[in-house]
Amino acid sequence: MKKSLFILFVIALFTCPSLKGQSDNPNEEAAIKAVIEGEIKASFNGDYTTWEGFFVHEPYVVWMQGWKEGYACWKGWQDISNSAKTFIKPERKGTSIHNGNNDYTIKVYGAVAFVSFKCKITRISEGKSNQDEAMEARLLEKHDGIWKIAYLSSIYTATYK
């Protein structure tokens, strides 16, 4: 019995595109990228109201960030929202400039997508600019036909050199 179930699983894995993580729908990939880039833009522009619209608002949502000076992590929409409100403010606009994402890898598994990419950022403080690069990952879920972020991680790699 176990052997039969295993064989069925293997057959499904190799024949079902959604289990293999393949996306043959460029519209889905474009929609996923639009969510990620919209979330980053809203954050950098200090637009909390727009920013929060890109997320799943549930207790299982996770956000983790790491940089040279330390790290921060939150679990649950309430904790994420409370923390984000302290720094996603209009006065943040112009202190960080998003220079684009590259090296996207997108795997779609039905109503769930895993995405990894690199993000380039210019930070401006006291008249000086500093270039940063981050390795980013997102897990998105489709809710009522719309992709939403359920997991966000960002590790600033340039600060570790």
**Mean pLDDT value across residues 147-160:** 87
Q: pLDDT-based confidence at 5, cuts 50/70/90?
A: very low
**Mean pLDDT value across residues 53-75:** 94
Q: What values do phi and psi take at 109, rounded to 5?
A: -125, 80
DSSP-derived letter for residue 69 is T
What is the fold of 21-160?
Answer: Nuclear Transport Factor 2; Chain: A, (3.10.450)
Helices and strands: H and E segment counts in the chain: 5, 6
Per-residue model confidence (pLDDT) at position 69: 81
Cα separation, 64 vs 136, in Å, equals: 10
Hey, how many other C-beta atoms are within 10 angstroms of the C-beta on 43?
19
Per-residue model confidence (pLDDT) at position 97: 72
Task: Please state, for a pLDDT cut of 90, what percent of the chain lies above it.
Answer: 56
Q: pLDDT-based confidence at 126, cuts 50/70/90?
A: confident
DSSP 97-121: EEEEEEEEEEEEETTEEEEEEEEEE
Q: Which residue has the higher pLDDT, 58 or 94?
A: 58
Per-residue model confidence (pLDDT) at position 68: 80
Report domain extents, the chain: 21-160
Q: Which residue has the higher pLDDT, 24 or 145?
A: 145
Per-residue model confidence (pLDDT) at position 24: 59
Query: Nearest CA to 146 among 41, 17, 55, 63?
Result: 55
Which range (3-17, 35-49, 52-66) has the least confidence? 3-17
Q: pLDDT-based confidence at 15, cuts 50/70/90?
A: very low
Per-residue model confidence (pLDDT) at position 160: 53
**DSSP H or E run through 46:** none
